[in-house]
Amino acid sequence: MAASRPGAKDLTQGPIASTLLMFAVPTLASNILQSLNGSINAIWVGRFLGAQALAATANANIIMFLMFSIVFGFGMASTVLIGQAMGRRDIDAARRAFGSAVGFCLVLAVIVATAGWIGAPALLRLLATPAEAFDMALTYLRVIFIAMPATLLSVMMMMGLRGVGDARTPLIFMIVSVVIDLVLNPVLILGLGPAPAMGIAGSATATAAAGIISLIGLVAYTYAKDLPLRLRGAELNYLLPAADQMRVLLSKGLPMGMQMIVMSASGLVMIGFVNREGLLVTAAYGASQQLWTYLQMPAMAMGAAVSAMAAQNIGAGRWDRISRITAYGIGYQLLITGAMVTVMLVFHEALLALFLGDNVSAIAAAWHMQLRVSWSFLAFGCTMILFGVMRANGVVVKPLLILAFTLFVVRIGFYHVGFPLIGVDALWFSYPVSSFTAMLLAVLVYAQGGWRKAKLLVPVHEEECRETVNSDAEPAGRLNPTG
């Protein structure tokens, strides 16, 4: 059986509650590590190189996030394909899906990296990057673009491993990447020891080196441990994206990536509204956003875990477990997010002071918006769990439409209608209004049940047809591929 292989975990058997929790926790830890890494790197850059360098990295990171959003979509699509294949105990199909995803990602990453390196000045001008930060941002961005293929391949491989039920290996190499990045950042920025002082390029080089080293380690570990998705011999041909696999990756991956872009675009619009309220409110909002980033993590991690687990069970035909997977996912998410919201509200002064120092007025403004916004992440999390389950069966357009409607029509519409009546509070109350509307719509789509009838529409592979025919004549049935 595929799930008995080293590194694979069968998510279709045993107790749902403990299995889901043990699968989700490493993913949550990876997300937290990644965010902490970004925060600490920002501190290194800000402390050592000043506000101009920090502004430069902020502008470059906007572009990088858009690139990762697209790859995230393809990665989630491949996770679903791999998960369903593992649920069917078809490891060869899982490898085909993984190979097509990695091969396509590599080609896409090389094209984007090349175009990005050439077009970086135009991209920064499009973002209206401040003149004093332009040169630094250009240097930083070009180094990051050079390392992009390795970075995106790492992301794709980690998401593929989660599809076979392995959340431990991605966590290990996320730790490796973060440790290398944190150590190299000050060394290369300042030129400590034999290293040259590279300034802003040093920060980018540290991040690039961490990604490349982590990828090399991940590939080596995959083959050394003979993990399920390793490709050998004729299987290496799977790296040439197959037409049937590409249809699924594009039709499902693009809408998933668009979900991330829609959320980012909505955030940019909201920042524009916040900026109208003056520097004090903008500073308070910036500090609050730092905390809200962490409040989103349980929803994203649990959503990814639920999606992978549901995909395996759908592939195995275990529809009897899907409702319980959904229920446990929502329950865990409410528990973890609720605990985090409570901690952040109880210790709000100390947490906000990390970003706002002793600015009492800004802390008070941030506390005001925290009270109105923080609890809305409970509803956001429930929505992400329901989306994750539906995504496990290839349903991606309806979640995208719900997000677009609630984040733009509902949230921005509430702001415009409410502002003349309640002033700036219309901004903060627009968050719970849109979040609970999205949750209600997600519940309606989930309860209606049409998503259960969807198919990924991957044509049966020619080799599978031959094996199926042979299995009719062989007492032993279909043979499982060996390692």
pLDDT confidence band for 437 (50 / 70 / 90):
very high
Do 84 and 312 touch, CB atoms closer than 8 A? yes
pLDDT confidence band for 471 (50 / 70 / 90):
very low
Q: Is residue 475, in this structure, part of any structural domain at all?
A: no
Does residue 472 carry a pLDDT above 60? no
Does residue 465 carry a pLDDT above 50? no
Residue type, 97: A
pLDDT confidence band for 445 (50 / 70 / 90):
very high
State how far the Cα of 416 lies from the Cα of 410, in Å rounded to an integer: 10
The sign one gets for the Cα dihedral 111, 239, 260, 294 is negative
Q: Is residue 301, in this structure, part of any structural domain at all?
A: yes
Q: CB 460: neighbour CB atoms within 10 A? A: 10
Overall domain count for the chain: 2
Does residue 469 carry a pLDDT above 50? no
Residues 181 and 294 in one domain: no
Do 411 and 269 touch, CB atoms closer than 8 A? no
Residues 222 and 328 in one domain: no
Does residue 226 carry a pLDDT above 80? yes
| HEC letters along 338-361 | HHHHHHHHHCHHHHHHHHHCCCHH
Residues 235 and 365 in one domain: no
Task: Kindly list the distances between the CA atom of residue 434 and the CA atoms of 3, 67, 151, 439, 470, in Å, as whole numbers in the listed order.
Answer: 40, 26, 34, 9, 54
pLDDT digits (tens, 9 = 90+) for 97-148: 899 888 988 888 888 888 888 888 887 777 666 677 778 778 888 888 888 8
Q: Is residue 480, in this structure, part of any structural domain at all?
A: no
Does residue 328 carry a pLDDT above 60? yes
Residues 20 and 143 in one domain: yes
Q: Is residue 321, in this structure, part of any structural domain at all?
A: yes
What is the reported pLDDT for 152?
A: 84
Structural domain range at position 50: 14-241
Residue predicted with more confidence, 393 or 5: 393
Residues 6+ apart with CB under 8 A from 180: 206, 209, 210, 213, 214
